[in-house]
């Protein structure tokens, strides 16, 4: 996620970074419904969340998956737990139906 344009925004105090000790790291299952492509459009409207992402990304690109979910989990841990729980429930109910 780190590139020179984003660092310029950080130094200009337009964007922010967490200290490593503040980040709540998480391993999110590799489910289609938990993809950055699906969640990115919903999170782009959250100004608190967007302080940690570049103003512009290359066309057709989304943030790095690990970085995205670590920032999301740091800011909104209960939300991340809930979407993972929901995804697991959906997958389990489909396999139980089969």
Full-model pTM: 0.89
pLDDT, residue 58, reads: 86
Asked if the model's pLDDT at residue 30 lies above 60, the reply is yes
Q: Model confidence over 51-94: pLDDT tens digits? A: 999 998 888 899 999 999 999 999 999 999 999 999 999 888 86
Phi, psi of 96 (to 5 degrees): -70, -35
Q: Model confidence over 1-28: pLDDT tens digits? A: 678 899 999 999 999 999 999 999 999 9
| Sequence-distant (≥ 6) Cβ neighbours of residue 5 within 8 angstroms | 54, 55, 56
pLDDT, residue 93, reads: 81
- In the chain the beta strands, taken as DSSP E runs, fall at none
């Amino acid at each position: 996620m780190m590139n020179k344009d984003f660092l310029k925004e950080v130094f200009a105090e337009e964007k922010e970074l967490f200290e490593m000790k503040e980040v709540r790291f998480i391993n999110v299952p590799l489910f289609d419904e938990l993809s950055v492509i699906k969640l990115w459009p919903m999170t782009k409207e959250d100004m608190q969340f967007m302080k940690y992402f570049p103003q512009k990304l290359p066309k057709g690109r989304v943030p790095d998956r690990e970085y995205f979910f670590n920032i999301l989990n740091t800011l909104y841990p209960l939300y991340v737990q809930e979407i993972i729980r929901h995804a697991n429930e959906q997958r389990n109910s489909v396999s139980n139906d089969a």
